[in-house]
């Protein structure tokens, strides 16, 4: 969140009458001057970037736990409800960190703020991998089917396209909330203080328990299915038992001989040799194979998220060194959700149908590749802007530490709206890479492991954050041009490597999307909780 970046990066404004006009030392408000920037802790851009990176790492590690609990024990609905409770608590702690008695005590403020970040991570971790899967789960159809319209016309209904549309509009509404919330928070922070900036989303988020209560009997819910995840891991270890090798060439050859997953299908194993845990059918093995293939696709995503991560930290810091014309520096990054709100419907209603009519299959793999390359272009744009900031700033290559006597930033004359191209390119990259990763995780995972595969997709953000933490020394003057340049190269190379590795998988897209639904039997613990009439194979 860009408000967090200002909170950590900049110091509290000087007390009146020394600070900028309209600023408030006790709340961190930046004031009414055009270059008044809000702040609290004053730890600089490198620390602000480090904390943002830690927050990303934490928020995308916890989903693995949230997904495991949902798939194995609680189900998605109950897990989401508990996560909302943690998230509300985290919001309240952030508000406390920003009230005047706390914010003016730097050490106490920092401790309370970090506690809020950690607690909110638990809420995010249970919410993110489950909510989108719960939404799309309301679609009953899972495979291609022919439907006869009232006019007598027979059409093919493709659930994959339906899922794609749902994810696009799910992402659209997320960004409508982000746009409204972040603009409100940015102006609240600038003119009133951080306590109001954090209170606004807290109040809004407190409506979610009522929404979940309203939908408790309306949502289609897949029950948790016990040891399904462990069975998938056991199946993988079973197929790999005779294929490991320290020789990369031998290992590749053994795992790509076309028989890898065939060896764990029950129909290929005599009953007397089958392990007790092998209580699934051949179709479920095909689903698991598809799920592992999806997880392999996500391995390239950390290189994409490295570039995308600049949106929430370094772009905001860069804006504060440019001429703002009265606009809060953390309002500018709302160009990203604004662009998404415009371009998501255009892609859904015009671009994708138009490509299909022309016979161009813009598949998931191709979309993701395009997303990587667009992110690389956004980083090139940012690097060029940073070059001109250094060239025109009164302080040269020390632009982030350039202040006037009253504590206001002494900026480069470069207009802050020059960042627009960065945000538009990042927005397009999100449509192609980020939204598609949600679709891919849902459509390729076994039905009883969707939250877990979704969490693995999200976990690539955490890997990216760990890499970004190592690259954090680049996030300061005078190295910021190198910072953006390195991420541009990594994103472009990631897109090239991605399409090269998964070109063959792309050719199998329709086959993978229309696999028959598999079955796996419930474990003993579940059977004890089911009525006699319900005992039997649990649909996967």
pLDDT at residue 86, rounded to an integer: 94
pLDDT-derived band at 259 (thresholds 50, 70, 90) equals confident
CA dihedral (153, 154, 158, 159) positive or negative: positive
pLDDT-derived band at 136 (thresholds 50, 70, 90) equals confident
Question: Is the model's pLDDT at 405 over the cut of 80?
Answer: no
* Alpha carbon distance 486, 482 (integer Å): 6
pLDDT-derived band at 536 (thresholds 50, 70, 90) equals very low
* Alpha carbon distance 236, 289 (integer Å): 9
pLDDT at residue 158, rounded to an integer: 66
Q: Determine which of 71-75, 139-143, 457-461 has the lowest per-residue pLDDT on average.
A: 139-143
pLDDT-derived band at 295 (thresholds 50, 70, 90) equals confident
What whole-number percentage of the chain has pLDDT above 70? 85
If we measure between CA atoms, which residue out of 261, 282, 293 comes closest to residue 519?
Answer: 282
- Token pair for 314: 């370094």
pLDDT-derived band at 456 (thresholds 50, 70, 90) equals confident
* Alpha carbon distance 27, 326 (integer Å): 19
What whole-number percentage of the chain has pLDDT above 90? 24
More confident residue, 505 or 425: 425
pLDDT at residue 356, rounded to an integer: 84
pLDDT at residue 535, rounded to an integer: 29
CB neighbourhood size of 467 (10 A): 18
Give, for 156, the enclosing helix (H) or strand (E). Answer: strand 154-157
Q: Determine which of 11-15, 355-359, 425-429 has the lowest per-residue pLDDT on average.
A: 11-15
pLDDT-derived band at 520 (thresholds 50, 70, 90) equals low
Cα angle 382, 56, 467 (rounded to 5 degrees) comes to 70
- Token pair for 8: 């950590």
Question: Is the model's pLDDT at 489 over the cut of 90?
Answer: yes
pLDDT in tens, 57-116: 888 888 888 888 887 788 888 999 999 999 999 999 999 999 999 988 888 999 999 999
CB neighbourhood size of 257 (10 A): 10
Average pLDDT, stretch 396-416? 80
pLDDT in tens, 5-31: 788 887 888 776 666 666 677 787 776
If we measure between CA atoms, which residue out of 420, 430, 418 comes closest to residue 341?
Answer: 430
Contact 138, 221 (CB under 8 A): no
* Alpha carbon distance 119, 456 (integer Å): 21
pLDDT at residue 141, rounded to an integer: 57
pLDDT at residue 64, rounded to an integer: 85
Average pLDDT, stretch 339-363? 88
Question: Is the model's pLDDT at 497 over the cut of 90?
Answer: yes
pLDDT at residue 526, rounded to an integer: 41
More confident residue, 308 or 12: 308
DSSP three-state, residue 149:
coil
Question: Is the model's pLDDT at 159 over the cut of 60?
Answer: yes
* Alpha carbon distance 242, 236 (integer Å): 12
Top-confidence range, 2-6, 467-471, 523-527 = 467-471
pLDDT at residue 17, rounded to an integer: 63
pLDDT at residue 305, rounded to an integer: 92
pLDDT at residue 154, rounded to an integer: 64
pLDDT at residue 289, rounded to an integer: 82
Question: Is the model's pLDDT at 530 over the cut of 60?
Answer: no
If we measure between CA atoms, which residue out of 311, 303, 314 comes closest to residue 50?
Answer: 314
Q: Determine which of 94-98, 155-159, 286-290, 468-472 has the lowest per-residue pLDDT on average.
A: 155-159
Question: Is the model's pLDDT at 191 over the cut of 70?
Answer: yes
More confident residue, 171 or 158: 171
């Amino acid at each position: 969140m860009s408000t967090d970046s200002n909170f950590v990066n900049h110091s509290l404004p000087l007390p009146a009458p020394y600070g900028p006009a309209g600023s408030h030392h006790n709340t961190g408000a930046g004031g009414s001057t055009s270059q008044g920037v809000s702040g609290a802790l004053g730890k600089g851009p490198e620390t602000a970037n480090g904390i943002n990176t830690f927050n990303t790492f934490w928020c995308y590690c916890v989903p693995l736990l949230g997904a495991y609990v949902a798939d194995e024990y609680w189900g998605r609905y109950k897990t989401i409800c508990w996560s909302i409770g943690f998230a509300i608590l985290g919001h309240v702690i952030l508000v406390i960190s920003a009230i005047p008695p706390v914010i003016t005590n730097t050490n106490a403020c920092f401790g309370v703020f970090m506690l809020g970040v950690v607690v909110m991570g638990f809420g995010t971790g249970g919410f993110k991998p489950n909510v989108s899967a719960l939404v799309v789960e309301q679609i009953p159809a899972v495979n291609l089917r022919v439907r006869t319209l009232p006019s007598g016309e027979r059409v093919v209904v493709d659930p994959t396209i339906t899922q794609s549309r749902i994810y696009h509009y799910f992402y659209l509404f997320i960004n409508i909330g982000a746009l409204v919330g972040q603009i409100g928070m940015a102006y609240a922070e600038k003119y009133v203080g951080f306590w109001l900036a954090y209170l606004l989303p807290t109040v809004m988020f407190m409506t979610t328990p009522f929404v979940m209560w309203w939908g408790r009997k309306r949502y289609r819910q897949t029950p948790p299915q016990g040891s399904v995840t462990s069975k998938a891991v056991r199946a993988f270890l079973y197929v790999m038992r005779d294929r490991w090798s320290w020789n990369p060439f031998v290992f590749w050859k053994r795992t790509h001989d076309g028989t890898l997953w065939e060896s764990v299908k029950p129909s290929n194993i005599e009953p007397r040799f089958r392990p007790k845990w092998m209580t699934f059918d051949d179709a479920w093995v095909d689903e698991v194979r598809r799920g592992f293939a999806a997880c392999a696709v996500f391995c390239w995503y950390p290189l994409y998220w490295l570039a995308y991560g600049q949106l929430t930290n370094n772009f905001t810091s860069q804006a504060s060194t440019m001429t703002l014309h009265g606009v809060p520096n953390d309002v500018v990054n709302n160009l990203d959700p604004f662009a998404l709100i415009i371009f998501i419907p255009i892609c859904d209603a015009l671009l994708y149908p138009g490509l299909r009519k022309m016979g161009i299959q813009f598949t998931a793999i191709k979309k993701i590749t395009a997303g990587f390359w667009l992110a690389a272009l956004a980083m090139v744009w940012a690097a060029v802007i940073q070059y001109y900031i250094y060239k025109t700033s009164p302080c040269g290559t020390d632009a982030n530490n350039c202040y006037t006597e009253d504590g206001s930033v002494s900026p480069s004359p470069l207009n802050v709206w020059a960042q627009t191209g960065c945000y538009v390119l990042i927005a397009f990259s999100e449509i192609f890479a980020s939204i598609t990763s949600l679709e891919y995780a849902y459509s390729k995972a076994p039905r009883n492991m969707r939250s877990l595969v979704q969490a693995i997709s999200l976990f690539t953000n955490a890997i990216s954050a760990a890499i970004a933490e190592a690259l954090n020394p680049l996030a300061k003057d005078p190295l910021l041009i190198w910072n953006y340049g390195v991420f541009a190269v990594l994103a472009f190379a990631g897109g090239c490597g991605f399409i090269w590795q998964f070109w063959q998988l792309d050719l199998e897209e329709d086959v993978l999307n229309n696999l028959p639904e598999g079955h796996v039997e419930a474990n003993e613990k579940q059977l004890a909780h089911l009525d006699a009439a319900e005992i039997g194979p649990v649909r996967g």
